Amino acid sequence: MRLLPTVLLSLAFAGCAAFRPLAPEATRGAGAFRAEGAVLPRREEIAYSASWNGIAAGRGVFRFERRGDVYVGDARVETTGVVSLLYGVEVRARAVSGAEDLLSREWSYESGTGGEARRVRVTYDPETGKVRSVIRSRKKVEEVSLEVPGALDPLGIIHALRRSALEPGRSFRATLFTERNLYRAECLVVGRERVRVPAGPRDAFLVRVDIRKVVKGKPEDHGRQAAIWISDDEDRVPVRIDADTKVGRISLRLTRYRRGGPEVTSGRGTH
């Protein structure tokens, strides 16, 4: 079970009907992500509880840090309780994004899933537009190479959202690469909501995400959907992430947020 891409943006499984796909006109004229306005901390730690179909299922800790001209994100996600007996999964991941252009430079993860244990490392060169993926399992090593005009990884697209100017009605479009395939990601800022999570209530932007696999240069008719709530304050924390999958709904909810270090220029705030 490829847990990390699943809980972030529902990339590992086909989508269900709980989220309606975005209408084509909803993101007409969508622009690329750009670093605009407010501030993000140089270092931060974000912790979540995870649920599966409303059942407590796991936890995750994400750490982000700016190092020179890049942002480095490290994540650890694991199942807990009864769910760990069914899907005993532990995933460690790292993602590196450009601090100014927001494009991914590197994405890797290791999953400890018994016989399905695997390691994936993806590198992207913005100057040549070439992306290379190496996938290692106990039985084989696979390599995938593609040319991509601007690429983001699953962690990178959330980071790009946080750093962009969020206003209701604004939309963004990006090319997403996992470990083998390209996807077109379209994001629409639906509005603002008051969100209640274990860390306490937060005013947040609700962002709907529609992701469609690109086959022979064209996105498929049916996509995968997710919803991301990003706090409407200087922290721009993803306080909740919901994704529908063929095995049910997976949800991450903020349990702890800690910031530290000098602040750096980022997405425009609204207060």
Total domains present in the chain: 1
Question: Residue 4: pLDDT above 70?
Answer: no
How high is the mean pLDDT of the chain?
81
Between 54 and 251, the higher pLDDT residue: 251
User: Whole-prediction pTM value?
Assistant: 0.83
Could you list the residue range(s) of the whole structural domain that residue 230 is in?
Answer: 3-96+150-265
What's the confidence (pLDDT) of residue 39?
65
Residue 258 lies in a domain: yes
Residue 115 lies in a domain: no
Half-sphere exposure of 193 (CA within 13 A, CB side): 16
Write the CA distances from 88 to 11, 51, 83, 115, 244, integer angstroms: 19, 14, 7, 11, 20
Residue 126 lies in a domain: no
The alpha carbon of residue 207 and the mean position of all alpha carbons in its chain are separated, in whole angstroms, by: 12
Write the CA distances from 65 to 5, 28, 176, 223, 240, integer angstroms: 21, 34, 22, 32, 21
The two structure tokens encoding residue 43: 């270092």
Residue 143 lies in a domain: no
Residue 243: pLDDT band with limits 50, 70, 90:
confident
For 103-130, the pLDDT digits (tens) are 999 999 887 655 567 899 999 999 999 9
Min mean pLDDT across 11-15, 92-96, 156-160, 231-235 is at: 11-15
Residue 19: pLDDT band with limits 50, 70, 90:
low
Residue 160 lies in a domain: yes
The two structure tokens encoding residue 41: 């901390």
Dihedral, CA atoms, 8, 12, 14, 19, nearest 10 degrees? Answer: 0
Residue 63 lies in a domain: yes
* pLDDT (average), residues 46-57: 85
DSSP 4-58: HHHHHH--SS---SSSPPPPGGGGTT-B-----SSEEEEEEEEEEEEEETTEEEE
Residue 246: pLDDT band with limits 50, 70, 90:
low
For 59-95, the pLDDT digits (tens) are 999 999 999 999 999 998 888 776 666 666 788 899 9
Residue 186 lies in a domain: yes
Q: Domain with 89 in it: what CATH number?
A: 2.40.360
Q: What is the largest CA-CA distance in the chain?
A: 53
